[in-house]
Amino acid sequence: MNNKLLGVFLVSALVGFGFSTVASAAGPKPEDAARYRQSIYTVIGWNFKPIGAMVKGEVPFDAAAVARHAQYIELMSKAALEGFPKGSGPDAVKNTEAKPEIWTNWDKFETAMNDFEGEAAKLAEVAKGGDEAAIKAQFGKTAETCKACHKEFRED
């Protein structure tokens, strides 16, 4: 399956899943919300790791691959926040690494998620230019937003 087709498939699957949960009159079940956000983070991680390997020099730098992966990260960053509806935290879902602080300190969590979304958008934009040094710098900034959010809002 080519990368463009894979991207369309991933987006279609996630959007379809989102519509199926939104269509429910009572809103998504807590377990569905947790699976949705876990799926988003799986896609983000799948695309973050190859860029990280290139940035660290573990694999050869490939500007086209970085740009493609960065686009997927940006897209998923825009969909992540909706995976945290009220009532989908650890009190309702057993299989989650989300801390209760997400819902008790929503404004701070939302700000952290918006920071990630903004840095992911910058990464996608910088990656289009193919400048390895600029990509490395922006990748670091994007990764820092991940670490900051994980530190406060995710069980390790």
SS3 for 101-155 is: HHHHCHHHHHHHHHHHHHHHHHHHHHHHHCCHHHHHHHHHHHHHHHHHHHHHHEC
What pTM value is reported for the model?
0.83
Q: Give the chain's domains with CATH numbers.
A: 3-153 (1.20.120.10)
Q: Whose CA is closest to 118, among 153, 95, 145, 98?
A: 145
CB 30 within 8 A of CB 21: no
* 106-131 tens-digit pLDDT: 999 999 999 999 999 999 999 999 99
Lowest-pLDDT range, 16-25, 85-94, 134-143? 16-25
Residue 138: pLDDT above 60? yes
